[in-house]
Amino acid sequence: MLTDYQKTKFDTYFRHLDRDGSGAVEWEDFEAVIENIRAAKGWSTDEARYQSLLSAQRDYWQKITERVDKDGDGKVSLLEFNAFHESVGRDIKEQGEPPAWAVALVRAFHRVLDTTGDGTIDQSEYGVYLRALGSRVDPGEAFRRLDLDGDGNIDIGEMEQLYTQYIISDNPGEPGNYLVTGAVD
């Protein structure tokens, strides 16, 4: 069962995705974030990294709808969105790690945001994601929380650890809670 803090955290993400205020998220809401990243990078729709992220996000959306869109309308309410994250948290606790499809999405986002190709994400690169999501959080402030080893970058190991924290943590002090939206409000 999700705690109040976890519900608030996932609600924050839901509100960022539900830009039209319909009370539900749909594939198009996730696709808009990916498209915003593509546009910010100046990529064509043929760009391999864009296609990889789009594919990983589609797989993630499929998992969401398989698990919680019981009426099959292609819309996920806040209650369903929370139920999805609760189910992923159970998977992590049972398996000791995120499911492979979730790791694939985390790695695809990491590759796309790593503009320099150095295997890490810096504050500027993370800021591209936050702006694509529509977050108004200061990327520098959010990034400082996420940079676990303080080296000015987030490598793939840190990203996976932050994602796991995001899904299962109930401790507002854990940095992973800020990965997806930059803030919890």
Tens digit of pLDDT for each residue in 128-162?
Answer: 999 999 999 999 999 999 999 999 999 999 999 99
**Structure confidence at residue 112 (pLDDT):** 86
Q: Which CATH superfamily is domain 4-178 in?
A: EF-hand (1.10.238.10)
Q: How far is CA 9 from the centre of its chain?
A: 12
Structure confidence at residue 6 (pLDDT): 97
The whole model's pTM is what?
A: 0.92
Share of the chain above pLDDT 90, in %: 86
For residue 167, what pLDDT band results from cuts at 50, 70 and 90?
Answer: very high
Provide the strand spans (E) within the chain.
Answer: 24-25, 76-77, 120-121, 154-155
DSSP state of 185: -
Question: Using 50, 70 and 90 to split pLDDT, how confident is the model at 116?
Answer: confident
What residue spans define the domains of the chain? 4-178
Strand partners, 77: 24
CA-closest candidate to residue 30, choices 44, 45, 14 = 14
What per-residue confidence (pLDDT) applies to 115? 84
pLDDT beyond 90 at 82:
yes
CA 115 distance to own-chain centroid: 18
- 77 pLDDT exceeds 90? yes
pLDDT of 12-68, one tens digit each? 999 999 999 999 999 999 999 999 999 999 999 999 989 988 998 999 899 999 999
Q: pLDDT at position 21, please? A: 93
Exposed, middle or buried, 159 (CB in 10 Å: 0-12/13-18/19+)? buried
pLDDT digits (tens, 9 = 90+) for 96-107: 999 998 999 899
